[in-house]
A and B are shown apart, each in its own frame.
Chain A
């Protein structure tokens, strides 16, 4: 375990993240990049971007509370060190997505009310299930909830958003590139560190699987709400797009041509597939919310 944790040291993090892929960035993207005018000038598109970004802030705030809250529950110093870097990663994500809200025209003194207005109730419940484990200082359940379930969901959502925005909104796509790199590291830690702890504590499996089931339910409900809310926007954006627009392919689906239902399906399938694989690697069985 010691060798694997040395790869997650603060020294490694400093070299790969602040002195690596974040060097010369400004809130996660190259300085000077701006949100596209077509988005800022269209009230429907702008509101949809605000709604989407609010969900990212809510998710990242939960991740910040969870990763910092798990430091004192960590059974070894190597895990504490990794969680210290993750805490700062999550704080950075909160900051860059909050900055995006400001870039989209949300006034600073209205930030909290905008976040409260648009925060998806199911996403809030998803976070509550996780933070309940963190409050109990339950390290194993907390890391599974945080680094496998939440981070696994974030990873896929960010990749999908990146595919959608790569051509249409390079500023946002570049912001997502750094967060995807961070999430990959977080998921890697979860898989590496928790597998051995699950093996040592097999009796914990049913309770942790139940948490995953509950979090998955709220996650799928969040996806359903979100895609339902923006189905008209998706249609409008596709109508206005240039016929020559390059395909934005995500797991075989062209997001520039797919409707909201297809998008929801490909995202849910991808995340659930990842859950099954990652949970299997640490010795847990995926429980469907429908079961």
Chain B
């Protein structure tokens, strides 16, 4: 299908219909998921971890599961009040992506010897991340599209994108391969959020003030989560600050002050 279509030659409306479609998603994921099983090449073998390394990796993966389950619940809950059929279809592709992320992280936990991943996730979940989750799901329950898409597709996705990218560069080969695939999805999700909000903000500039307030409210939770993850990933001060500053730069680029 895309052989004949140059997305850049399309009108804005047709462009959105094209990039938000199932067909577009199918072609995108076929590129990087073909031949993988639970996000990595099935032939890959695991490396040996020391006990502290293993424990830290398990805690980090447990928190990735919290974030992905949040994203799954939020994106699925938003379909009913999506502002257009194209947005509903995009969110459906995101639902499948988030479900896949959750599945691959849970599978990784099982590979690392965790027999009951959900019990482990409950035990190791970061409190700030749980508070962030509750706030996002409140916006979804209230069917507040602007706040929900901002918190889900901008803040949460930018948070995941920044951490996963940093972790992928230092992780063991299997975790790194899993994260590389997930990061590609997150980039697509952030693009949708930026695009959707960009148009809304052009039409209703006062929305920015409200979203800025939400950003300021949630920012301490995000930074506290980063700080915990930096400890688990054994990042030095510079690397830890770099995660936070990359995140803040992403949010700033979208015109939200921190």
A, B co-complexed: yes
Query: Mask for A127-147, Cβ within 8 A of B = 1, else 0?
Result: 000000000000000000000
Q: Does A91 contact B (CB under 8 A)?
A: yes
Q: Does B128 contact A (CB under 8 A)?
A: no
Are A68 and B92 neighbours in the complex by a CB distance under 8 Å? yes
Closest-by-CB residue of A relative to B98 is: A84
Given contacts A19-B34, A84-B76, contact A91 B118 (CB under 8 A): no
Are B99 and A72 neighbours in the complex by a CB distance under 8 Å? no
Partner of B33, one of A9, A14, A69, A77: A14
Distance of A2 from chain B, by nearest CB (Å): 11
Closest-by-CB residue of B relative to A27 is: B23
Are A11 and B30 neighbours in the complex by a CB distance under 8 Å? no
Distance of A142 from chain B, by nearest CB (Å): 13
Q: Does A87 contact B (CB under 8 A)?
A: yes
Stretch at the interface among A92-100, A214-222, A235-243, A257-265: A92-100
Q: Does B194 contact A (CB under 8 A)?
A: no
Are A10 and B103 neighbours in the complex by a CB distance under 8 Å? yes
Query: Mask for A48-71, Cβ within 8 A of B = 1, else 0?
Result: 000000000000010011001101
Question: Binding site of A, secondary structure by majority: helix, strand, loop or mixed?
Answer: helix
Distance of A260 from chain B, by nearest CB (Å): 31
Interface residues of B in 92-114 (CB under 8 A from A): 92-93, 95-96, 98-100, 102-103, 106
Contacts of B29 in A (CB 8 A): 14, 18
Closest-by-CB residue of B relative to A26 is: B1
Question: Binding site of B, secondary structure by majority: helix, strand, loop or mixed?
Answer: helix
Q: Does A104 contact B (CB under 8 A)?
A: no
A81 vs B100: C-alpha distance when bound (angstroms): 8
Are A91 and B93 neighbours in the complex by a CB distance under 8 Å? yes
Interface residues on A, range: 20 to 34
A241 vs B88: C-alpha distance when bound (angstroms): 40
Contacts of A81 in B (CB 8 A): 99, 102-103
Contacts of B9 in A (CB 8 A): none
Contacts of B106 in A (CB 8 A): 77
Closest-by-CB residue of B relative to A70 is: B76
The count of chain B contact residues (Cβ–Cβ below 8 Å) is: 35
Are B96 and A84 neighbours in the complex by a CB distance under 8 Å? yes
Q: Does B21 contact A (CB under 8 A)?
A: yes
Partner of B99, one of A31, A61, A85, A91: A85
Contacts of A72 in B (CB 8 A): 73, 76-77
Partner of A84, one of B23, B85, B95: B95
Are B22 and A92 neighbours in the complex by a CB distance under 8 Å? yes
Contacts of B139 in A (CB 8 A): none
Contacts of B17 in A (CB 8 A): 108
Contacts of B38 in A (CB 8 A): 11
A88 vs B88: C-alpha distance when bound (angstroms): 10
Are B1 and A31 neighbours in the complex by a CB distance under 8 Å? yes
Query: Mask for B8-23, Cβ within 8 A of A = 1, else 0?
Result: 0000010001000111
Q: Does B37 contact A (CB under 8 A)?
A: yes
Query: Mask for B54-91, Cβ within 8 A of A = 1, else 0?
Result: 00000000000000010011001101100001001101
Distance of B253 from chain A, by nearest CB (Å): 30
Contacts of B102 in A (CB 8 A): 77, 81
Given contacts A26-B1, A84-B96, contact A19 B103 (CB under 8 A): no
Q: Does A22 contact B (CB under 8 A)?
A: yes
Contacts of A23 in B (CB 8 A): 30
Given contacts A91-B88, A91-B93, contact A65 B100 (CB under 8 A): no
Q: Does B51 contact A (CB under 8 A)?
A: no
Interface residues of B in 30-54 (CB under 8 A from A): 30, 33-34, 37-38
Distance of B65 from chain A, by nearest CB (Å): 9
Q: Does B204 contact A (CB under 8 A)?
A: no
Partner of A9, one of B79, B80, B92, B103: B103
A87 vs B98: C-alpha distance when bound (angstroms): 12
- Besides A10-B99, A64-B79, A81-B103, 20 more A-B contacts (Cβ < 8 Å) are A19-B33, A23-B30, A27-B23, A64-B88, A65-B79, A68-B95, A71-B72, A71-B95, A72-B76, A77-B69, A80-B72, A81-B102, A87-B92, A88-B96, A91-B88, A91-B93, A92-B92, A94-B85, A94-B88, A95-B22
Shortest 3 CB-CB contacts between residues of A and residues of B: A84-B99, A91-B92, A71-B76
